[in-house]
């Protein structure tokens, strides 16, 4: 069994690597267009591969295909013979153009989409809405009291907003479990803006999404710059995937490959392991996977231990991305 760590100061325990489920959106909605629509049998195989390698938790959201990802995840877990309580399930409420009352008004729909699996972690997806942080945390705390969710998290919150969420929940004797943020060796802004430091101080887990920088850290796009043109979504227009962007990150990706070679691993596994180990147990990662081989490879990061020298070298080479 893969080693687990506590999610914040809750009693929930997760593996350092989880599975992000945005790609299970079935091509629906604005966010779903980023990925190819995956048939349910493929979703089943991806989830099964993650489970087989010891991953015990899955992160989805109502915004991912307007519930399509939640439903696909639940179906895949059932197909794998799992029952509620066997795994940890996280989802998110989107505050855009909504007030805090929507959290409680939509929770039954979230539970229906994920049925029969319980919601272990419910997160506020973005910091922009029609209600204060305190009102949103109050609504989440009510759901904990009603036993409709186990723990509360936030996503994309600044250090100040995270502190406010922490204080509001503490008044109800509930810990803030997590802050889910974009974080990778190619995007370390959450270190330079104080988010990681604040999380350490508060005992909040950082959940890193896009930990492979949408695949850039695997080296695939450096080896074949034209590959991006075959991918769905906006990557083909993003600067990081163009010649100048690839050149900027090339030295880092080459070092990932060199370290990987010394461990019999892959560059992507090294990139994930760095995130999970550089800050002790503060950071966990949720790479996505659209094929079972990708889920299997990502889970391999759980078995990789980097030396202090390797951690330091990658820190040095990636500081330009802070």
Which residues belong to the active site?
64
Structure tokens, 238: 């993003």
Which region, left, alpha or beta, applies to residue 144 given φ > 0 means left and ψ of -120 to 50 means alpha?
alpha
Q: Spell out the residues 6+ positions from residue 220 whose beta carbon is closer than 8 angstroms to its own.
A: 227
Structure tokens, 85: 């309580």
Helix or strand (DSSP H, E) at 283: strand 283-285
Phi, psi of 38 (to 5 degrees): -95, 125
| C-alpha to C-alpha distance for 66 and 188, rounded to whole angstroms | 30
With contact defined as beta carbons under 8 Å apart, do 73 and 60 qualify?
Answer: yes
Radius of gyration of the chain (CA): 19
Number of H helices, E strands in the chain: 13, 10
The string over 39-59, giving b where at least 16 C-beta atoms fall within 10 Å of a residue's C-beta and e elsewhere, is eeebbbbbbbbbbebebbbbb
* DSSP per-residue string spanning 154-219: EES--HHHHHHHHHHHHTTT--EEEEEEE-BTTB-HHHHTTHHHHHHHHTPEEEEESTTGGGGGGT
Which is it for strands 4-6 and 13-15: parallel, antiparallel or unpaired? antiparallel
Cis peptide before 116 (omega within 30 of 0): yes
Q: Spell out the residues 6+ positions from residue 138 whose beta carbon is closer than 8 angstroms to its own.
A: 100, 168, 172
């Amino acid at each position: 069994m893969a080693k687990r760590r506590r999610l914040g100061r809750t009693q929930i325990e997760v593996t350092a690597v989880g599975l992000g489920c945005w790609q299970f959106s079935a091509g629906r909605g604005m966010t779903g267009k980023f990925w190819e629509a995956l048939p349910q049998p493929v979703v089943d195989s991806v989830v099964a591969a993650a489970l087989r390698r010891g991953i015990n938790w899955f992160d989805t959201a109502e915004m991912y295909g307007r519930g399509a990802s939640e439903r696909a995840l639940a179906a895949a877990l059932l197909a794998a013979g799992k029952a509620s309580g066997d795994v940890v399930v996280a989802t998110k409420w989107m505050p855009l153009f909504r007030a805090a009352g929507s959290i409680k008004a939509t929770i039954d729909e979230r539970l229906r989409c994920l049925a029969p699996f319980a919601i272990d972690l419910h997160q506020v997806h973005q910091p922009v809405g029609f209600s204060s942080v305190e009102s949103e945390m109050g609504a989440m705390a009510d759901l904990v009291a009603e036993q409709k969710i186990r723990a509360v998290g936030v996503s994309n919150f600044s250090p100040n907003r995270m502190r406010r969420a922490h204080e509001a929940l503490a008044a109800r004797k509930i810990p803030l479990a997590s802050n889910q943020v974009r974080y990778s060796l190619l995007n370390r802004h959450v270190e330079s803006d104080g988010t990681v430091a604040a999380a350490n101080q508060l005992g909040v887990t950082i959940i890193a999404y896009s930990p492979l920088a949408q695949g850039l850290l695997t080296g695939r796009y450096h080896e074949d710059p034209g590959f991006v043109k075959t991918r769905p979504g906006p990557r083909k227009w993003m600067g990081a995937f163009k010649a100048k962007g690839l050149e900027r990150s090339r030295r880092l990706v080459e070092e990932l490959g060199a370290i990987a070679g010394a461990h019999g691993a892959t560059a992507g596994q090294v990139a994930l392991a760095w995130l999970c180990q550089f800050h002790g147990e503060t950071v966990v990662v949720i790479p996505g996977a659209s094929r079972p081989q990708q889920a299997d490879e990502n889970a391999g990061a759980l078995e990789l231990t980097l030396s202090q020298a390797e951690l330091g070298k990658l820190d040095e080479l990636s500081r330009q991305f802070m």
